[in-house]
Amino acid sequence: MRNGRMELEGKKVLVLGAGKSGINSATLLARKGAVVALHDKKPVAEWSEAARSLKENFGVGLIEGMLPSWLLDQIELVVISPGVPSGIIPARYVERKDGEVIGEVELAYRFLKNPFIGITGSNGKTTTTTLVGRLLADAGIASHVGGNIGVPLVSMVEEIDADSWIVAELSSFQLETIRDFRPRIGICLNVTPNHMDRYELFSDYAAAKHRLFLNQTNEDLAVLNADDEITASWAKGLRSTVTMFSTRKELKEGLFLRGRDLVSRAGGTEKVLTTRDEMQLRGLHNVENVLAALAAGLACGADPVSMRGTIANFNAVEHRLEFCGRIRGISFYNDSKATSVDATKKALEALSDEPGKIVLIMGGLGKKAPYAPIAGLIREHARTLVLIGEDASNIEAQLGGVAETLKAESMYDAVRRSFESAIKGDTVLLAPACASFDMYKSFEERGAVFKEAVQDLAISLGAVDASAGI
């Protein structure tokens, strides 16, 4: 049902979720002749102007609150936005009466003729997706980057050349609702406990990630982390050709870290593609991201020399272990995207070779995952824990005996308390291990407020900005 063969003329479609993904889905569906209703639990008055304008511009019905059963009886297709659970009752109702339930990614795939590179994982998706897009572009290979990274794939329909690659960051939420989606190259970086507020079991979350490879054949490529117990176990069960990567061991075939060199070995020959000393990105987890990105670049025919140059000039993506400046010898890093315990663990490991200790800002909307896995790292490397947000007391209960613990009322308060707790040579790290929605609209907003707070602190101490240092 790919490449525009999905018949939508006159079809009655319900789009669940009035965010960016839902708006773009409703727009595409209406343009294709469907009769569209857009739903969100929030009152229509609280929707964005872009969402509300769909009624006037495209005749889309706007529905708030509870969905009436008479409407569900008429619906033939449901398109679910990533933030809406796929098992929601309206979707199950329509599916039981032989309607179809898909997500925005699947909808886009059925109209886009392009080859896809699909990238998922608990951590590192955005960095790897951005890097793959940069590797291809710098090598002269046409590509477009989208998906969970912020550009809905449906917005690309009829807008991009069919010969270009689409590099798509894909969350577990998006993968829940694929049906025909088949990436030419699929990458799973890792699978560690995350979103346990949405999934009943860890195995359910892992199964959602595994769906990336559901429709691949032996003509397609699966790139898997040999060091991750979950992804490594998938290798023998896939129909696709498998390439593994590792930072812990040399592989007979695949990409791996040997000393400081990132090596590719295939068909009995090997090549050093780059080195850790040439990389701008910090931490062993970013070596994993680079190895996976290199595997995709090689598969697409990118020149290794070009890729080496790209990696040497590639800096951290915003809100992902982003250096924000130095004040009186104290460094500040923004890793607001560290919304899981494992992501915070990787951030701590990445900065553990710094000369001083780490003052760690944690907290937010918890995901019901235990914080104990990072207790050892905090004990060894952290000077102080500064806690914010809804889950602060829970974190304190689990980690309060590991390091000195302070509570802050706001991000500005957290930054100032962190600075006051640190000494010269220390690092202040925002790596919350929690979602942001108790205090902020997104992790991006949280990271932006952190950076503003750092700048405000620098100015109050007499520096023009944090990067200048004082």
Cα atoms in the Cβ-side hemisphere of radius 13 Å centred on 288 = 24
Please choose, from the candidates 209, 211, 173, 196, the residue with its C-alpha nearest in 3D space to the C-alpha of residue 19. 173
- Residue 95: the pLDDT is 87
Take residue 32 and report the two structure tokens written for it: 């294709």
> Which helix (H) or strand (E) segment is 354 a member of?
none
CA torsion 149→451→281→305, rounded to 10°?
A: 70
What distance in Å separates the CA atoms of residue 318 and residue 444, rounded to the nearest whole number?
Answer: 8
Burial class (CB in 10 A: 0-12, 13-18, 19+), 154: buried
Low-confidence ranges of the chain (pLDDT < 70): 1-5, 195-196, 463-470
- Residue 196: the pLDDT is 64
Residue 278 burial (CB count, 10 A)? 14
pLDDT in tens, 88-102: 888 888 888 889 999
99: Cβ contacts below 8 Å, ≥ 6 apart: 75, 76, 77, 78
Cα distances from 104 to residues 15, 17, 148, in angstroms, run: 9, 11, 11
- Residue 470: the pLDDT is 42
Are 95 and 249 in contact by the 8 Å Cβ rule? The answer is no
Burial class (CB in 10 A: 0-12, 13-18, 19+), 94: buried
> Which helix (H) or strand (E) segment is 332 a member of?
strand 330-334
- Residue 466: the pLDDT is 54
Going 388 to 389 to 395 to 401, the CA torsion angle's sign is positive
- Residue 306: the pLDDT is 98
Are 358 and 338 in contact by the 8 Å Cβ rule? The answer is no
- Residue 230: the pLDDT is 96
- Residue 465: the pLDDT is 47
List beta partners, residue 221. Answer: 185, 241
414: Cβ contacts below 8 Å, ≥ 6 apart: 361, 386, 388, 408, 453
What distance in Å separates the CA atoms of residue 247 and residue 242, rounded to the nearest whole number?
Answer: 17
What distance in Å separates the CA atoms of residue 371 and residue 191, rounded to the nearest whole number?
Answer: 17
Are 307 and 297 in contact by the 8 Å Cβ rule? The answer is yes
What distance in Å separates the CA atoms of residue 15 and residue 62, rounded to the nearest whole number?
Answer: 10
Q: In what order do the strands lie in the sheet with 330-334?
A: 322-327, 330-334, 427-430, 358-363, 382-388, 404-407
Q: Per-residue b/e over 298-317, b at no fewer than 16 CB within 10 Å?
A: bbbebebebbbbbbeebebb
What's the whole-model pTM score? 0.81
Take residue 123 and report the two structure tokens written for it: 């951590």
User: Which domains can be identified in the chain, with CATH numbers?
Assistant: 12-106 (3.40.50.720), 112-312 (3.40.1190.10), 322-468 (3.90.190.20)
Q: 313: helix, coil or strand? A: coil
What distance in Å separates the CA atoms of residue 67 and residue 78, rounded to the nearest whole number?
Answer: 13
Report the DSSP pairing between strands 261-266 and 254-258.
antiparallel
Cα distances from 147 to residues 21, 105, 250, 251, in angstroms, run: 9, 7, 33, 31
Q: What is the chain's Cα-based Rg? A: 23
